[in-house]
Structure 1
Amino acid sequence: MKENKSGEQSVSHTKQEIEGQPELWESVYDLIQIQEEQITTFLDPILNKKDLEIILTGAGSSAFVGEAAQGLVQKNSQRTTRAIATTDLVTHPELFFPKDRHPVLLISFARSGNSPESVETVSLADSFCSQIYHLVITCNKDGELYKYTRANTKTALAILLPEKANDKSLAMTGSFTSMLLTILLVSDLKDIESNKLELQRIVKQGNLLLENAKAFKEISAKYFERVVFLGSGPMLGIARECHLKLQELTDGQIICKHDSFLGFRHGPRAVTNEKTLLVYLFSPSDHVYKYELDLATSISKDPRTIECVSIGRSKEKALNSCLNIDLNLSPNQELNIVPATLIGQILGYYKSLQLGLNPDNPSISGAISRVVQGVEIYKYPKKATP
């Protein structure tokens, strides 16, 4: 809901799409369960191929889906997995696509399926790789990538997500978390039944974050000009998506950064000042949390009194967080990266309103748009050979 001058509210796609995610995740789970046999029939022969390499790709937020999922997909599939953005593959395909005869499974994430780089990446993969297979996870049945899979059924399969995953607003919210949940479930499809309990857990966690909307609104009313999101392992990709979401929804007026807890010590910490908000996306792993807490404790001793938001763990008094949300994380939880994404979305939504912007279309200059504009694709200069 967007607040107007009188304090009343009007319909906002962004708010509805943020709030609708826990219910959407249940729909995604049901969809994957229904399509389990079809997905297994397509993927099993591919995953059994010797020396298979999996490439996770997309542009913008869709690329960050792959970044967050990379380690977990590799762990679940036991196959070498790399996250490479289409924006890198289009300009330098020769650096990333194998020139030998190793089979490749290209998993494309796409809200619209019409981004020029994503469409060109599929074409380049077909040209460079002698054994190439495609799994497209998309929210749009009318997109070019979905159409590609319908025309190449022997080597390509699309998972078309529920209509509500196809966000109407500029910022990717439900589409991001739906695609992320999909690849995590698909990579561990043999345990789809046992993951039902995990699904219920993240739905509760997502709803808990949404119930704290008032607290996020109050934090957004504070004056800060920089926000840094920190996460470890798969959560690093979520920190990057949160970084983009807040910066995007505030039309660049709030400058954001992201890093790992350990990496932040090695130079990037220089970005912090009295006008910085730190957002800690804590890990469910007790071992990892020791490293994270060390860094957070160190920052809490900074004489400049840098404010922080702590997400995931029980409250640590030493951190003096302006907001702490305990998500009751399970030590072995892996799907927790899905609800954690809401942090950047909620903060971005309320900060957008606080700055007088329209969260559905915050770009005053039109510099960013729902589907990227102005990208010209140039023919690759040399014919690819396997």
Structure 2
Amino acid sequence: MISTTYLNLDPQKAERAGAQETAREIAHQPRLWLDVLNLISTNRNGISTFLNPIFAKENLRIILTGAGSSAFIGESAQGLVQKNSGKLTQALPTTDLVTHPELFFMKDVPTLLISFARSGNSPESVETVRLSDIYCKHIYHFIITCNEQGQLAEYARNHSSNTFCLQLPEDANDKSLAMTGSFTSMLLSVLLVTDLNSLEAKTKHVQTAAKYAEYILNNFPEDFQRIADSMFERVIFLGSGPLLGIARECHLKLQELTDGQIVCKHDSFLGFRHGPRAVLNEKSIVVFLFSDDPHVYQYEKDLAESISSDPRGIPTISFGPMNDDGFDSILAISNGNAPTSCGDFNVLVATLVGQLLGFYKSLSLGLHPDSPSVSGAISRVVQGVKIYNKS
């Protein structure tokens, strides 16, 4: 029996509802981020010794890869890693690399494959590493995993000459189905390790992000619960740049925690105007994940004002530096008055929006957030994937 309250849930009620692990894993993220920051700071020299000679290669290509939520880490981090490293960076899901390795790997181009893996046992993740060794003449692996017993961690132990494994703290290895702390801690890790020269400056931003997340977790659960108890059938998450990847992760989080009963979509603010806006109806909620960049925000604000003036009265949730704009959102979470910025790590905090909405909607629908799939169609580690040898 648990004795600690997470996300305003009575411990006994949380246990009966099958919600205790997910609630704890969402609530512990700010502390987990500081643990990851300390881990990387402690292991800075070893990480630099491995990565610096690789980053020194003139035509280095970086591939960020994973499956499901782990793939969305790469999508969120792609531009930021490219900015940090100064190297061409691409986010390519293992689910694409396994079926079409010849279309994506380049034989003579030095390649750093950064793999994200909660369990390290997904068949596609393991096969992608094997295929990269075949299709790339000069391949280097940086594995970020939450499970030291997983197959990818074992691979690293057996291939130490060209592989580094960053083993995250045990608390990053979510026990529940939905990736929460594992997603944000792996995302934080790649943003830090690809710019270790700026670790001191980034430390302040991570600490600010943790404080901002604590503020949300302490002050907004009742608002998310109220919204979750309302009648809606569709949710559209919008973000730009790195926040587009977060919008996609939020989309998945809400959809899997509600066992597909809530249908979700994600898009960029500008992209949403080009046809996808047709999905909006009176039973929709639009979630704005606003950028901290004033230039980007101008484009986002235009669309937000347009949706807010829709005569159908479509409700919205706003996250970001809105200040006094508000857009008549049913929930507005702003860091506009924060004394310091989260910088690039605002993406970590934004992820909480999808997690919290998904968690409370799961409870509202009578599901068990720790294992919401009634049919068993989805599982913590993907099942039923058979790997075929490519001739």
TM-score, structure 1 as length reference: 0.96
1:281 is aligned to 289
Amino acid at match of 2:343: Q
Shift in alpha-carbon separation, 1:225–1:37, aligned structure 2, 3 A: same
1:104 is aligned to 111
Alignment of 1:305-384 (within 5 A): 305-317=313-325, 319-328=327-336, 333-381=343-391
Contact 2:8-2:221 at 8 Å conserved across structures: no
1:160 has 2:167 as partner: yes
Contact 2:7-2:27 at 8 Å conserved across structures: no
Give, in whole Å, the separation in 2 of the partners of 1:377 and 1:8: 42
Contact 2:308-2:327 at 8 Å conserved across structures: yes
Aligned to 1:241, the other structure's residue is in SS state helix
Shift of 1:9: 3.7
Aligned to 1:341, the other structure's residue is in SS state helix
1:197 has 2:204 as partner: yes
1:185 is aligned to 192
1:87 is aligned to 95
Aligned to 1:193, the other structure's residue is in SS state helix
2:254 aligned to which of 221, 225, 246:
246
1:261 is aligned to 269
Give, in whole Å, the separation in 2 of the partners of 1:137 and 1:317: 39
Contact 1:90-1:121 at 8 Å conserved across structures: yes
Contact 2:172-2:181 at 8 Å conserved across structures: yes
Work out the number of aligned pairs and report it: 380
Shift in alpha-carbon separation, 1:9–1:94, aligned structure 2, 3 A: closer
Contact 1:3-1:353 at 8 Å conserved across structures: no
1:384 is aligned to none
Aligned to 2:133, the other structure's residue is in SS state helix
Contact 2:209-2:342 at 8 Å conserved across structures: no
2:3 is aligned to none
Amino acid at match of 2:140: Y
Contact 2:253-2:354 at 8 Å conserved across structures: yes
1:136 aligned to which of 126, 131, 143:
143
Shift of 1:318: 6.2
Q: CA offsets per residue over residues 147-191 of structure 1, 9 Å max, x none? A: 111111110000000000000000000000000000001111111
Shift in alpha-carbon separation, 1:332–1:365, aligned structure 2, 3 A: closer
2:239 is aligned to 231
1:31 has 2:45 as partner: no
Aligned to 2:126, the other structure's residue is in SS state helix
1:206 is aligned to 213
Between 1:199-208 and 1:177-186, the stretch displaced more is 199-208
Give, in whole Å, the separation in 2 of the partners of 1:160 and 1:376: 27
Shift in alpha-carbon separation, 1:306–1:144, aligned structure 2, 3 A: same
1:215 has 2:223 as partner: yes
Contact 2:208-2:342 at 8 Å conserved across structures: no
Q: Quote the sequence identity (%).
A: 59
Give, in whole Å, the separation in 2 of the partners of 1:317 and 1:236: 21
Aligned to 1:40, the other structure's residue is in SS state helix
Shift in alpha-carbon separation, 1:332–1:369, aligned structure 2, 3 A: closer
Q: CA offsets per residue over residues 217-259 of structure 1, 9 Å max, x none? A: 1111111000000000000000000000000000000000000
1:56 has 2:61 as partner: no
Shift of 1:319: 1.3
Shift of 1:196: 1.4
Aligned to 2:261, the other structure's residue is in SS state coil
Shift of 1:102: 1.3
Shift of 1:339: 1.2
Contact 1:229-1:240 at 8 Å conserved across structures: yes
Give, in whole Å, the separation in 2 of the partners of 1:165 and 1:2: 18
Shift in alpha-carbon separation, 1:2–1:181, aligned structure 2, 3 A: closer
Amino acid at match of 1:282: F
Amino acid at match of 2:313: T
1:301 is aligned to 309
Aligned to 1:133, the other structure's residue is in SS state strand
Contact 2:205-2:341 at 8 Å conserved across structures: no
2:122 aligned to which of 112, 115, 127:
115
Give, in whole Å, the separation in 2 of the partners of 1:209 and 1:35: 30
Amino acid at match of 2:267: D
Shift of 1:260: 0.3
Contact 2:64-2:74 at 8 Å conserved across structures: yes
Give, in whole Å, the separation in 2 of the partners of 1:348 and 1:66: 22
TM-score, structure 2 as length reference: 0.94
Aligned to 1:82, the other structure's residue is in SS state strand
